[in-house]
Each structure stands twice: as C-alpha cells, then as structure tokens.
C-alpha cells in the first residue's frame, strides 16, 4: 500500500529530503545511529501529516553525565547507566533529562496544533498564512474514527457513527472544506487574470478556513518536557488525532534514548498514580478488608477508576 505521504510531497520536496539524508558530517558530538537513520525522514501521520526529526542533541549518556557531573564514560557499564536512569525516572528527577533536546518538523491539522500548543515548554515556529498561501490539504477522519459525542464525558467520544448519518457527516466535512478553500483562493485573487477584483490581504483571507486544514511547525523541546507531553498525549484517553502524533514521537524517542525510553515506559506510561486515600484503600484490601464505595471516601469517578485499575468488582 502506498503511503499517503508520498502523494503529498512534490518532487522538489522529495529531492530536498534525499539531499539532506545523503549528507554526512564529521563531529565529536555524541550521535545515535538509530536516530541518524530517521533523521529528515518524514514519518506519516493521519491522511496528510507527518513528523520529521530535524536535529537533536545528547543521548542516554548525556543524562547520566549530567546526573554525575562527570567528564566522560570512564569505566562504568551500560547496566550502571540503566540503573541510574531508572532511579532518576522513578524519583521524578527532571534536570538530567533536560540535557537532551530534539527538534521536530511536524505537519498537523490546525485543531490538533491548537491543542498541542497548550504545552508551553517548547520552542515553536509555525508556518504563517500571513505571508504564505496554505495548501489545499485538510483532515477528514477515516470512517472508523468518526465517533459520536460521549454522554458521560464532555471531552470524550462514544460509539462510531454508521450508515447514512456517517456518510452525510463525511460529505459535509469534505464539501465545507473544499468550498471554504475555493472562497479563500477567490478572496486572495493571486491570479488576477481570473478575476476583476483586488486580492484580499492574506492575513484576512485565512480566517475563512476551518481548523481541519493543515499547518506546519518546527518544535524544539528537551527530553524532560517531551516526556511530559507524551505521558499525556500517548495516553489511551487522549484525543485520537493527537495521540497518533504522540505514538510516532514515541518511536523516535525509543530510537534516540533507548534506556530513558524503557524507564519512561516502566514508570510513566505503564504506571499509575494513586491519591493518599487510594493508597490506604489498597493497603486495607491487601489486609483482607472488604470495602464498599460508600466506605471508601472517594468520589464515584475515583472509585470506578480505582476498581478498573486493579480489575476488581465495584
């Protein structure tokens, strides 16, 4: 199956990427062979999006070097690095992980970008529709991700729409986006031979476009803040459209800092956080005490989440 990304890259872009990937530099800096293989390579996400590693600094050894404030690797073993990184992760240390940075080029729908930018601990430079004309590229969910609104969670989704209703929604999304883009181009009137009116300023014409159109940015972040982003956005409860970007970046992190990734997976992604009351309840259950919701001191939602976490009946 042909990647949808191949359909979106014009020949000049493909040639530029091939040229970048063909370049090599001699350096005394630490490099990571697995990440070097991914460097500049667009990783497809959604229908027209991608994540691309542009640059990085540091590796697993940079984390332990900062923690030890040492000059180099010395005689320590990889197992020692692994143990220290896991200790740092387990005890929520942050500054050693800030010694590693990565810069990504991301192409994403605008509504995902507006959610993503809530993480204010990165350096961002976004494509500007004040100066440039946006491409005719907009996101339309695949049928299996066309979900209904959850009745119990205002931020969540429920079952998938089906049949004629689903098809009507898909048609409406496509037709609205196409019509808005056509009007956008008419207002710009870049080709004056096709119209008898002055073109509207780009900074004004862009307001006609819906938020499923694609934007792009460069996003530079240190490893500590990247892990915070991934802990929230790679969570199964996160919105699908941002979660798939987080999943792609998880694969990048695994290639970049494998020891830190393993610790992150163990102590963040696969772990759970309990309140003080929750800890006491678990202790009481382990001691053999039977506890009901009414005796727990938890809210209904907390009680349900705790029972689901430990796979016990409510």
Whether residue 76 is predicted with pLDDT greater than 60 in this model: the reply is yes
| pLDDT score of 230 | 97
Whether residue 73 is predicted with pLDDT greater than 90 in this model: the reply is no
pLDDT, mean of residues 84-89? 95
pLDDT, mean of residues 67-92? 82
Whether residue 135 is predicted with pLDDT greater than 70 in this model: the reply is yes
| pLDDT score of 157 | 63
How far apart (Å, rounded) are the C-alpha atoms in residues 207 and 184?
9
Among 28, 233, 243, 285, the one annotated catalytic: 233
User: What whole-number percentage of the chain has pLDDT above 90?
Assistant: 63
pLDDT, mean of residues 190-203? 75
Whether residue 213 is predicted with pLDDT greater than 90 in this model: the reply is yes
- Give the residue, 38 or 7, on which the prediction is more confident: 38
pLDDT band at 79 (very low <50, low <70, confident <90, very high): confident
User: CB-based contacts of 95: which residues, under 8 Å, 6+ apart?
Assistant: 66, 224
Whether residue 197 is predicted with pLDDT greater than 80 in this model: the reply is no
pTM, to two decimals? 0.87
Whether residue 240 is predicted with pLDDT greater than 70 in this model: the reply is yes
Whether residue 74 is predicted with pLDDT greater than 60 in this model: the reply is no
pLDDT band at 5 (very low <50, low <70, confident <90, very high): very low
- Give the residue, 249 or 158, on which the prediction is more confident: 249
Whether residue 209 is predicted with pLDDT greater than 80 in this model: the reply is yes
| 3-state secondary structure (DSSP) of residue 167 | helix
pLDDT band at 3 (very low <50, low <70, confident <90, very high): very low
Whether residue 113 is predicted with pLDDT greater than 60 in this model: the reply is yes
Q: Which residue has the tokens 């610790």?
A: 263
Whether residue 259 is predicted with pLDDT greater than 80 in this model: the reply is yes
Q: Which of 176-185, 193-202, 248-257 has the lowest mean pLDDT?
A: 193-202
pLDDT band at 6 (very low <50, low <70, confident <90, very high): very low
Edge-to-edge strand ranges of the sheet holding 101-109: 43-45, 49-57, 101-109, 214-222, 123-126
Asked about 284 being catalytic, the answer comes back as no
Whether residue 106 is predicted with pLDDT greater than 60 in this model: the reply is yes
| 3-state secondary structure (DSSP) of residue 65 | helix
pLDDT, mean of residues 43-54? 96
How far apart (Å, rounded) are the C-alpha atoms in residues 202 and 193?
18
| pLDDT score of 30 | 86
pLDDT band at 155 (very low <50, low <70, confident <90, very high): low
Name the average pLDDT for the chain. Answer: 88
Whether residue 68 is predicted with pLDDT greater than 70 in this model: the reply is yes
| pLDDT score of 7 | 46
The stretches of the chain forming alpha helices (DSSP H) are 4-8, 11-22, 33-38, 60-68, 78-90, 110-116, 163-188, 202-205, 223-233, 240-256, 258-264, 276-286, 293-296, 300-309
| pLDDT score of 69 | 85
pLDDT band at 152 (very low <50, low <70, confident <90, very high): low
Radius of gyration of the chain (CA): 24
Q: How many helices (H) and strands (E) does the chain have?
A: 14, 7
């Amino acid at each position: 199956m042909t990647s949808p990304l191949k359909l979106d890259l014009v020949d000049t872009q493909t040639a530029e990427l091939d040229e970048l990937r063909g370049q090599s530099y001699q350096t005394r800096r630490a490099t990571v062979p697995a990440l070097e293989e991914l460097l500049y390579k667009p990783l497809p996400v959604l229908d027209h999006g991608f994540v691309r590693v542009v640059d990085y600094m540091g590796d697993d050894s940079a984390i332990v070097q900062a923690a030890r404030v040492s000059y180099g690797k010395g005689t320590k073993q990889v197992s020692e690095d692994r143990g220290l990184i896991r200790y740092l992760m387990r005890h929520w240390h942050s500054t050693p992980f800030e010694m590693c940075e990565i810069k990504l080029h991301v192409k994403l729908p605008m509504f995902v970008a507006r959610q993503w930018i809530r993480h204010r601990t990165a350096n961002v430079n976004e494509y500007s529709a004040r100066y440039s004309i946006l491409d005719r590229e907009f996101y339309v969910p695949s049928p299996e991700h066309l979900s209904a609104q959850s009745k119990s969670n205002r931020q969540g989704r429920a079952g998938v729409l089906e049949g004629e209703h689903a098809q009507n929604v898909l048609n409406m999304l496509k037709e609205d986006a196409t019509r808005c883009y056509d009007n956008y181009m008419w207002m710009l009137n870049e080709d004056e031979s096709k119209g008898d009116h002055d073109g509207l300023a780009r900074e004004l014409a862009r307001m006609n476009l819906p938020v499923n159109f694609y934007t792009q940015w460069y996003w530079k972040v240190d490893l500590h803040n990247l892990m915070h982003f991934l802990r929230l956005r790679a969570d199964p409860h996160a919105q699908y459209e941002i979660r798939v970007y987080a999943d792609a970046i998880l694969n990048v992190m695994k290639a970049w800092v494998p020891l830190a990734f393993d610790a992150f997976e163990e102590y963040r992604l696969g772990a759970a956080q309990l309140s003080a009351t929750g800890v006491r309840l678990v202790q009481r259950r382990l001691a053999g005490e039977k506890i009901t919701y009414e005796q727990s001191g938890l809210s209904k939602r907390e009680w349900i989440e705790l029972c689901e976490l430990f796979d016990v009946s409510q």
